[in-house]
Amino acid sequence: MIISGKTAIVTGGASGLGEAAARRLHGVGANVVIADLNEERGQAVAGELGEGALFVKTDVTSVDDVRELCRVALVSFGNIHILVNNAGIIGAGRTIGRDGPYNIESFRRIIEVNLIGAFNVLSNVAWEMARNEPENGEKGVIINLASAAAFEGQIGQAAYSASKGGIVSMTLPVARDLSRDGIRVVTVAPGIFETPMMAGMSEQGRESLGKQVPFPPRLGAPDEFAHLVQAIAENGYLNGETIRLDGGIRMQPK
């Protein structure tokens, strides 16, 4: 896909990896719609990008919000060609804690946002992409966010790992579903990136995690993720696959 002149929706685009993807896609000529719960940050990023960027306050778990997001994107830019399906939350807790079993509402919330929310967005956006005029047979590309935790979840990551494992597992069937409409579906599984999601961790903790990365021995930079997003959009033969972006790290139990 030639990105310039196309339109991208980036969920969770007000922060971290999503923000980096929004900035890069806009930088190579795409219109960008930032969809996030964080209105202040989302407006600020869209305002900074200027023409060809806008913010729509969106909760990815809400069907109404996502339909409104699509409507605004279509009214503003005509079509939607790229989805960076990135919004997500993290949560930690052992299967049994000191005070009792895992809080099931917390488990449900993580699945609701990371897995059901992601499917809600991709299904509604794909519906709109399917109406695009194909370019070299292609109508759109969807880029989902999983995590290394989908493969090597650490202690306390049962819910988060389950949510991201679901993203990995649905990648192929969704790509198969959307193949007749010329829409590709690719998932990225990042290792550990320097984003606000990681801000809760101490400098020492981040440094120690960075050293566990075989090479380069550091955390990933958000623009390295954004660079892969660009490559996935541009490479028309990538489909139905999950790509690890992690410097070769394999997470240890803790």
Ligand X SMILES: NC(=O)c1ccc[n+]([C@@H]2O[C@H](COP(=O)([O-])OP(=O)(O)OC[C@H]3O[C@@H](n4cnc5c(N)ncnc54)[C@H](O)[C@@H]3O)[C@@H](O)[C@H]2O)c1
Question: Tokens representing 4?
Answer: 């310039």
Using rule CB under 6 A, residue 88 touches ligand X: yes
Give the orientation angle of helix 16-27 with respect to helix 222-234, to 10 degrees: 50
Using rule CB under 6 A, residue 190 touches ligand X: yes
Using rule CB under 6 A, residue 210 touches ligand X: no
Distance in angstroms (rounded) separating the CA atoms of residues 206 and 197? 12
Would you say 44 or 89 has its CB closer to ligand X? 89
Would you say 88 or 182 has its CB closer to ligand X? 88
Residue 102 is a catalytic residue: no
- Encoded one letter per residue, x for contact with ligand X by CB under 6 A and - for no contact, window 40-79 reads ------------------xxxx------------------
Contact with ligand X (CB under 6 A): which of 25, 192, 213, 251?
A: 192
How far CA 120 is from CA of 54, 63, 85, 112, in Å, comes to: 21, 7, 10, 10
Contact with ligand X (CB under 6 A): which of 28, 74, 89, 111?
A: 89
Q: Which of 77, 160, 193, 225 is catalytic?
A: 160
Element (H or E) spanning 213, and its range? none
First to last CA, the chain: 40
Half-sphere exposure of 71 (CA within 13 A, CB side): 8
Q: Applying CB under 6 A, which residues contact ligand X?
A: 11-12, 14-18, 36-38, 58-61, 86-89, 113, 117, 145, 147, 190, 192-193, 195-198
Give catalytic residues, as residue numbers.
Answer: 160
